[in-house]
Amino acid sequence: MPEPILLTPGPLTTTRVTKEAMLVDWGSWDGAFNALTASVCRDLADIAQAGNTHVCVPLQGSGTFAVEAALGTLIPKTGKVLVPNNGAYCQRIVRILGYLGRKALVLDFAEDEPADPECIDAALLADSSITHVAQVHCETGTGILNPLAEIATVVQAHGRRMIVDAMSVFGVIPVDLQTMPIDAVIAASGKCLEGVPGMGFVIAERETLAAAQGNCHSLAMDLHDQWAYMQKTGQWRFTPPTHVVAALRAAIDQYKEEGGQAARLERYAENCATLVGGLRSLGLRTFLDDMVQAPIIVTFHAPPDAAYDFAEFYRRVRDRGFILYPGKLTTVDTFRVGCIGAIGAAEMRRAVDAIGAALQEMGIRQPGAS
Ligand SMILES: *Cc1c(COP(=O)(O)O)cnc(C)c1O
C-alpha cells in the first residue's frame, strides 16, 4: 500500500525531491554544510522581507523549541507579555511564559473569533507595564487567521514590542518586516515550506537580538548565543539537524520554482475550497466562518450521531490512504483536516471521497444534523 497522505499541519506530505535531499550525510564542520545553512537562512529571511533590519537564527528542535527560545531570549526578565488568546497555541505561549518566569496577561477571545485589535489597544492603554505582545498569526488549534498587520500597528502605536508565532502560515500568508513593526517572527521547517520537521527559526530584529545577551535562562535555548556563535564561525553551536537543513534547502528551491508565496497561497486556497466544498456537500459543518478561515487546516464539527467515533473514523479514512487530525477544542467535538503539504486539489477530492465512504460505512447518514 502506498504511504498515506498526511492531512495534518506538520509533519506533512513532502515531495520525493525533498526526501531524496536527505540521502547525503553532511559533516557539521564542513564548509559546504555551513554554506547550506547560510543559504537557507538567507532565503528564510527574504521570505519575511527581513532586509537589513532582521536576521534569521535557526534552532534545532520542533517549532515549540523556537517559540520558547524567542520568548526566553527576546523578553527581558522584567518584561510583561500580553497574549491575545483564541486557541491552543496561544495557550502554549502562556504556559511557556510561566515556565520562563515572565509575567503574562491573557486577553481571551472566543475560539471562533479573531483577536481584536481594538481590545488589544484597550489592554495596552490600561496597563503601561506590558512590554510585549505575543501573537499567534494563524491559530492552528482551529485554523483561524488573526489580523496581524492591524495588531502590529496598534502595538507600535503604544511603543510596545511584538513577537509573532507565524508557524503555521509562514511562506503562505505574507509577513513583511519592512512594513509591519514586528520584533520577531517564528516558524519551522516542517510546515508550509514543506520541509521535514526538526528545525525552527526566528527572524529577529538585529538590534533587539544584539541587546538580548543575558536574557535567556537556558544555554540550549539562547538565541543570542546561537546567533553570535554562528556569525563568528558559520556553524551551529551544537549538533545541527543536517538532513533537515538539506531537505529544507530542497523544499525552498521547489517553493521558489512553484512561484513563491503567491503560488503556494493559491494552491492551498484551492485545496481548502475543495475540501470545504466537498465535506459540506456530504453534510459536514465547519467550525469557523469562511471569512476568518486560513487555508491551512479546517476544523469540522463531528457528526452528532451515536455511530460516530473519531478513532474508528480515523482508522477507516486511514485505510483509504489519508491521515486526519483530531480536534483540539474542549467544548465542542470536532476533527481537523489539513490542506497544506505537497498535495493539490486532486488529492483533496480523493480525501473527500474517502471521508464520505468512511461515514457511510459507519452508518452516519446525516453528518451535519443536530
Ligand atoms: C506547529 C505549530 C507550533 C509548533 O508545534 P511543534 O509541535 O512544536 O512543532 C507552534 N505554533 C503554531 C501556531 C503551530 O502551528
pTM over 0.85? The answer is: yes
pLDDT at 10: 85
Q: Which of 90, 140, 202 to mutate to test the pocket of ligand 1 (most atoms within 8 A of CB)?
A: 140
Distance CA 312, CA 170 (A): 33
Q: Give the least confident one: 228-232, 277-281, 328-332.
A: 328-332
Among all chains, which residue has been given the C-alpha cell 506530505?
13
> What average pLDDT does the chain have?
96
pLDDT at 330: 79
Q: How far is the CA of 189 from the centre of ligand 1 (A)?
A: 11
Domains of the chain are: 5-9+260-361 (3.90.1150.10), 17-256 (3.40.640.10)
Instruction: Tell me if 267 sits within 8 A of 352, measured CB to CB.
Output: no
Q: Which of 165, 170, 189 to mutate to test the pocket of ligand 1 (most atoms within 8 A of CB)?
A: 165
Here the cell at position 144 is 483561524
pLDDT at 329: 87
> Mean pLDDT throughout 65-93?
98
Q: 369 pLDDT exceeds 70?
A: no
Distance CA 202, CA 185 (A): 6
Distance CA 184, CA 42 (A): 15
Helices (H), the chain: 16-20, 31-47, 63-74, 88-100, 117-126, 148-157, 206-210, 223-233, 242-258, 260-281, 310-319, 345-361
The Cα-based distances of 252 to 28, 347, 359 in angstroms read 20, 22, 37
- Backbone φ, ψ for residue 72 (5° rounding): -70, -30
Q: 282 pLDDT exceeds 80?
A: yes
Confidence of residue 1 (pLDDT cuts 50, 70, 90): low
| Coil/strand/helix, residue 54 | strand
Distance CA 13, CA 188 (A): 15
* Cβ–ligand 1 contact at 10 (below 6 Å): yes
Look at ligand 1, atom 6, and give the residue with the nearest C-alpha: 63
* Cβ–ligand 1 contact at 140 (below 6 Å): yes
pLDDT at 213: 97
Q: Containing H/E element for 186?
A: strand 184-188
Residues 6+ apart with CB under 8 A from 251: 14, 15, 18, 21, 189, 193, 194, 195
Q: 370 pLDDT exceeds 60?
A: no
Q: Could you tell me what percent of the chain has a pLDDT over 70?
A: 99
> What burial class does residue 270 get, using C-beta atoms within 10 Å of its C-beta: 0-12 exposed, 13-18 middle, 19+ buried?
middle
> Mean pLDDT throughout 179-183?
97
Q: pLDDT digit string (tens) for 27-53?
A: 998 999 999 999 999 999 999 999 999
Instruction: Tell me if 197 sits within 8 A of 167, measured CB to CB.
Output: no
pLDDT at 222: 98
Confidence of residue 109 (pLDDT cuts 50, 70, 90): very high
Helix (H) and strand (E) counts for the chain?
Answer: 12, 14
Q: Containing H/E element for 161?
A: strand 161-165
Q: Which of 62, 85, 340 to mutate to test the pocket of ligand 1 (most atoms within 8 A of CB)?
A: 62
pLDDT at 328: 87
